[in-house]
Amino acid sequence: MAAKKANDKGAKKKAPPKKDTRFKKGHKQGGRPKGSQNRVTKEVREMTRALVDDPEYQETLRNRLLTGDLPAGMETMIWYYAFGKPKDRVELTGADDGPVRISSEDLRGALDERICKLRGDDDES
């Protein structure tokens, strides 16, 4: 019994294991870092910028614009790949250029009308 007590004095209690937070929901496990471009996007951007900056291309672009032989969609895509698409902005204003105001009752009524229309209901109740 004396030997048992001697062992108890020197023994330390183990701390509870720490929780592993690496596998927590929403925690990225690997791959490309958040916000970084993938390699292909970067390569396409570099290629299209070189194309757009080329003086020979600029001359043929000018000629195609003047003659009306320019396929608009393709040219637009090249510029978007080279320099990015500008953000579309829509600004809504209410009376006297103030904020748009709508009551919750008006909003609910408008939503109910849309839902009835989508369902194909003939009567509006």
**Percent with pLDDT over 70 in the chain:** 78
pLDDT number for residue 8: 56
**Percent with pLDDT over 90 in the chain:** 6
pLDDT number for residue 20: 65
SS3 content of the chain, % helix, strand, coil (to 5): 55, 0, 45
Region 79-98 average pLDDT: 82
Q: What is the pLDDT of residues 49-74, one digit of tens each?
A: 898 899 998 898 888 878 878 787 87
What are the extents of the domains in the chain?
37-86
CA-nearest of 99, 6, 16, 84 to 52 is 84
Region 22-34 average pLDDT: 67
